[in-house]
Amino acid sequence: MVVATPMPIQSEKIKEVGLPTIDLSFDRSEVSKLIVKACEEFGFFKVINHGVPLDVITRMEEESLGFFAKPAQEKQQAGPANPYGYGSKNIGFNGDVGEVEYILLSTNSASISQRSNTISNDPVKFSSAVNGYIAAVRDLASDILDLLAEALWVPHKSVFSGLIRDVDSDSLIRLNHYPPLIKDIFEDGDTSLPHHHHPNNRIGFGEHSDPQILTLLRSNDVGGLQISPEDGVWVPVSPDPTAFFVNVGDVLHAMTNGRFVSVRHRALANSNRPRMSMAYFAAPPLQANITSLAQFVSQSRPNLYRSFTWAEYKKATYSLRLGDSRLKLFRLVEEDHEIASLQHQTCFKH
């Protein structure tokens, strides 16, 4: 499917770039090197042959679509999101808005069971679908993190994956629904509108990085996702419902002392068809201590961040707007964009 490239907003530059696609069925040592390279260059990649069963994805998608098809009054009974539950338009706690409605859930099965009563007419079926999906994507995320650890020769293979496999992991799942454009309001050919009002530029979910360790995103065949590998540049991500998109979060950025890029991204509601995505945010337990691993710190690359608990960092995410840089609050040294992502920028420009 061909998706029209959205018009740039103000001084933004839209750049078509071949983003990494990694086949997880290939040789493990080769795959691990490719994942490291993708995390350094983009903080983002696509995985195929990922092993998540199609029926698990289909059940989760059907339950999600069933909920979003309900009348607004019924959906609102599952909200407001505080933080869990149903939300619409209002994304964060500090005035962030977008053309999106969503369900945010803890990955704790007891919490899911309780929330299901207000979300579904068949709570047991909904809970079963969500728990099955979470188990499958957690396994996938853990395997990706283990591949990273193997390639980096870290002392303990589970240094990353152990955080999300922990029984007290604070991971989340968010189901996003971006309604289609209303043609009665905007005509596709109307170029007289200001850029920020143009229908192809409706912000579904504004620019941000994910605070957690890793995000696994699955979406339908409707485009809208964009990543920003350098300031002012946006790269459209072609939709692929058979794949998972993976991006590095702030915690992994900090643990690798900035070697892996916590990629900024956004979603545009830019289609005549609804877009739906399912995002799994792999997070550590609240009391987990996050610090740069020793092998990523040297005289030439001093420790950029002080140690912090995930609870501290999570609190910071709630105190700021969606697009604000939270890691700045934990810096030990002044981190220029060039220092933090020198290797990433060099790779991108060449």
Is position 295 within any domain? yes
Nearest to 224 by CA among 182, 176, 267, 181: 267
Is position 268 within any domain? yes
* Residues 30, 229 contacting (CB under 8 angstroms): no
Residues with Cβ within 8 Å of 3's Cβ and at least 6 positions away in sequence, in order, are 222, 223, 236, 238, 239, 270, 271
Q: How far apart are CA 281 and CA 169, in angstroms?
A: 11
Is position 185 within any domain? no
Number of domains the chain is built from: 1
Pairing of strands 233-236, 13-14: parallel
Residues with Cβ within 8 Å of 201's Cβ and at least 6 positions away in sequence, in order, are 6, 7, 9, 195, 268, 270
Give the CATH number, domain containing residue 172.
2.60.120.330
How many CA atoms does the CB half-sphere of 269 hold within 13 Å?
A: 23
Find the angle CA(219)-CA(42)-CA(281) to the nearest 5 degrees: 45
Structural domain boundaries, residue 223 = 21-179+200-334
> pLDDT digit of tens for each residue in the chain (350 aa)?
233 344 445 578 999 999 999 999 999 999 999 999 999 999 999 999 999 999 999 999 999 999 999 999 999 999 998 889 999 988 776 777 888 999 999 999 999 999 999 999 999 999 999 999 999 999 999 999 999 999 999 888 899 999 999 999 999 999 999 988 764 344 444 433 333 444 456 888 889 999 999 999 999 999 999 999 988 899 999 999 999 999 999 999 999 999 999 999 999 986 688 999 999 999 999 999 999 999 999 999 999 999 999 999 999 988 888 788 899 999 997 645 444 444 444 344 44
In whole angstroms, how far apart are CA 38 and each of 19, 47, 169, 218?
A: 8, 11, 25, 18
Q: Which residues sit opposite 172 in a β-bridge?
A: 106, 281
Q: How many CB atoms lie within 10 A of CB 210?
A: 26
Is position 192 within any domain? no
As annotated, the active-site residues are 275
Q: What pLDDT does 201 receive? A: 61
* Residues 251, 313 contacting (CB under 8 angstroms): yes
Is position 189 within any domain? no
Q: How far apart are CA 171 and CA 159, in angstroms?
A: 16
Q: What amino acid is encoded at 34 in this protein?
A: L
Is position 236 within any domain? yes
CA dihedral 305, 307, 310, 315 (to 10 degrees): -70
Helix, strand, or coil (residue 316): helix
E strands within 223-274?
A: 225-230, 233-236, 244-248, 264-268
pTM, 2 dp: 0.88
* Residues 248, 273 contacting (CB under 8 angstroms): no
Is position 349 within any domain? no
Is position 346 within any domain? no
Intra-chain end-to-end CA distance of the chain, in Å: 29
Q: Which residues sit opposite 140 in a β-bridge?
A: none
